[in-house]
A and B are shown apart, each in its own frame.
Chain A
Amino acid sequence: MKKTPSIIINSNTETKKFLRANKKQKFPVQHTTERELVYVAPDACIWIDLEWIGRGRSNKAIQEYMSNLNLLLRFSKARNGEKFAKGLVVMMLMPATREELSTYQGKYHDVIERILRKYAFVVEIDEQYEQQFKQLESQLVKAYMEKELFTPTQAMDAKLVAQASIFNIPVVSRDNHIVGKENSKIEKIKEINKEILGTYEHQAFPIKIKTFVSRVAKHNPSPAPDNFVYLTKGNQKELKSMNNGKVKISYHYDEDKKIRRKEKDKVAVEVKGDKITVKVENKEVKNEDKIEEKNRA
């Protein structure tokens, strides 16, 4: 069997054409894979600081902070006309942040419009799931407030963290009351999120910009976004096209079933004589007639 040089792992039509045209040439083996997009939800202050960077100016004395912001902009997807082009990071504008940066009529404030139009992926919740989404958000915010992770005047920040957590997307901020001065605050947020939203392999939580940028630069694993089913069809379509059709639109959170990721299947075994019925989450998957005594347990 002819061995195709493994230069590119995903083989689309263009790649096949290219390989066919150059089959005599030998290519060095490159372990390049298309990196999955990284999602982040900047808070309002980060958007303002990004606007400063966009203007070619620095508003903060800490140069390291400004250079991290610069890196974030360079990594991020920017609009070229209507569509997003290039970039590895998708900066999501959560409904909470959008409310802060827009007028009561829904229009962006003049000063921040430029940066938002260019870089923001505006998260829109489908009407069908709006109530469910708000219920989840409300549950999370209540839990955060009960644990005194946010004060009543910081409810909008709690709302942002809740909304981003539903999608398993990290919030990036420079405020200590969001990213936490100590690890204990983040651990409490993670605990609450696990309880209400379920466990993820890489759980998203609020982080500082330095940590986020370093994670992207070092190719560290990023939280896989979830619950994109809550988004409008337009949002989902745009995300799919940005991901070359690879993004998974996951199940939506079902209060009754409380489906959790990575949870072991609940197995119920019913033994009646020689007949053993194995049920996995109310679904009958096995029905064996003759099972040896020693296998029963």
Chain B
Amino acid sequence: MEELISQFKELVEQDFQNLSKEEQIEFYQKSIEDLDKIMDTKNIDLDIYEKLLEIKKMLLSKIYILKE
């Protein structure tokens, strides 16, 4: 799980300037969908949930900035 969290963190830190705005938004939205599936796991540890939530917030923030 820790490895997965660090992979998602790397994703957030990456710059996708070679992609258009729409492509970036689509990519981040798909990543959030994948994150949501993990976060929606029954009996997931709350500490892990919180770490994943931080990543989700950053992805949502990126989408918000791209859409503005």
Interface residues of chain A, those whose CB is within 8 Å of chain B, are 44-45, 48, 51-52, 59, 99-101, 103-104, 107, 109-112, 138, 141-142, 152-157, 159
Contacts and interface: CB of A to CB of B under 8 A. Distances in A.
Contacts of A138: 68
Contacts of A99: 60
Contact of B44 (A111, A153, A157): A111
Interface of A is mostly: helix
B62 A152 contact: yes
B41 A48 contact: no
Given A100-B57, A104-B36, A111 B64 contact: no
Interface string B24-59: 000001001100110111111011011001001110
B68 A152 contact: no
Contacts of B33: 104
* Interface size of B as a range: 20 to 34
A155 B58 CA distance: 8
9 contacts: A44-B57, A59-B46, A59-B47, A100-B56, A109-B39, A109-B40, A152-B62, A154-B61, A156-B57
A155 B46 contact: no
Interface of B: 12, 29, 32-33, 36-37, 39-44, 46-47, 49-50, 53, 56-58, 60-62, 64-65, 68
Nearest to B63: A155
Majority secondary structure, B binding face:
helix
B13 to A, nearest CB: 9
A128 B40 CA distance: 32
Contact of A109 (B49, B57, B60, B65): B49
A208 B59 CA distance: 25
Nearest to B49: A111
A103 B53 contact: no
B53 A48 contact: yes
Contacts of A59: 46-47
A147 B46 CA distance: 34
A51 B39 CA distance: 15
A172 B37 CA distance: 28
A153 B62 contact: yes
Nearest to B58: A153
A104 B38 CA distance: 12
B57 A110 contact: no
B41 A110 contact: yes
A142 B68 contact: yes
Contacts of B50: 45, 48
Given A45-B50, A59-B47, A104-B33, 6 more contacts: A59-B46, A104-B36, A110-B40, A111-B44, A138-B68, A152-B62
